[in-house]
């Protein structure tokens, strides 16, 4: 049984390992495994911890099996927005309810402790149908379609689907 807590900067190495692992399976995260380096992970962790929301799921062995975060765009006109929401669960821990537990905890934190946030954004590729349905079940609504935005590893192009949760919808 995993326990959930807010992400800390000291989680950098573990979250880096997690993202490399999850990105090793195409079709989920946007970045390829080789496009995930420690600087990239350090930057999003800093931003999420400073002004966004971020949680990790820690296994009984102390391993980080999942992570979710979203960041503030950092300018006044978007001060009520969290964006670039990303969730990753270790392949060995997927489809056991951890992703839902992480996402529900993340949304509860926003609903109960972040009244400044009115809108949360994410983008998911069209072929990640299970993830799209998952996000809809959590209150996210499709806002359109970025056609031919995603290049898959086989060279094919597909749509990216912008989605948002709005507090006062
Ligand atoms: C998407 C992801 C975070 C879901 O986490 P999980 O722990 O596997 O999910 P859960 O077991 O809690 O199931 C939650 C929902 O996710 C969906 N899901 C389960 N496994 C999934 C998988 N491998 N890929 C996509 N969606 C999945 C299920 O449909 C499920 O819906 P339900 O609760 O209505 O049955 C996880 O599979 C993952 O990290 N995938 C790779 C990275 C990725 O796609 N990230 C999202 C990019 S936008």
**What is the CATH classification number for the domain harbouring 46?**
3.40.630.30
Q: Does residue 134's CB lie within 6 angstroms of at least one atom of ligand 1?
A: yes
CA atoms within 13 Å, Cβ hemisphere of 14: 19
Mean pLDDT of 48-61: 97
**What pLDDT is attached to residue 74?**
94
Q: What is the pTM of this model?
A: 0.96
Q: Ligand 1 centroid vs 77 CA: distance in angstroms? A: 32
**C-alpha torsion angle, residues 41, 90, 119, 84 (rounded to 10):** 30
Extended strands (E) in 7-114: 53-58, 64-71, 81-89
**What pLDDT is attached to residue 122?**
98
Residue range 140-153, pLDDT digits in tens: 999 999 999 999 99
Q: Ligand 1 centroid vs 49 CA: distance in angstroms? A: 23
14 in any annotated domain: yes
Domain hosting 61: range is 3-119
163 in any annotated domain: no
Count how many domains the chain has: 1
CA distances from 125 to 17, 67, 72, 135 (A): 23, 19, 22, 12
63 in any annotated domain: yes
**What pLDDT is attached to residue 1?**
75
Q: Whose CA is nearest to atom 1 of ligand 1?
A: 131
Q: Ligand 1 centroid vs 135 CA: distance in angstroms? A: 9
DSSP 114: -
131 in any annotated domain: no
CA atoms within 13 Å, Cβ hemisphere of 1: 0
* Residue 2 binned pLDDT confidence (cut-offs 50, 70, 90): confident
């Amino acid at each position: 049984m995993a326990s959930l807590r807010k992400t800390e900067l000291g989680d950098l190495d573990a979250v880096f390992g997690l993202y490399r692992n999850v990105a090793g399976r195409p079709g989920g995260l946007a970045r390829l495994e080789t496009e995930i380096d420690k600087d990239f992970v350090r930057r999003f962790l800093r931003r999420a911890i400073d002004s966004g929301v971020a949680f990790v799921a820690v296994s009984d062995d102390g391993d980080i099996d999942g992570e979710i975060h979203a960041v503030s765009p950092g300018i006044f006109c978007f001060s009520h927005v969290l964006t670039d929401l990303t969730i990753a669960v270790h392949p060995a821990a997927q489809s056991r309810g951890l992703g839902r537990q992480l996402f529900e905890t993340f949304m509860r934190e926003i609903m109960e402790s972040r009244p400044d946030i009115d809108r949360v954004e994410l983008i998911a590729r069209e072929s990640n149908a299970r993830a799209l349905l998952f996000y809809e079940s959590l209150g996210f609504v499709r806002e359109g379609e970025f056609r031919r935005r995603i290049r898959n590893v086989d060279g094919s192009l597909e749509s990216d689907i912008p989605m948002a949760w709005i507090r006062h919808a």
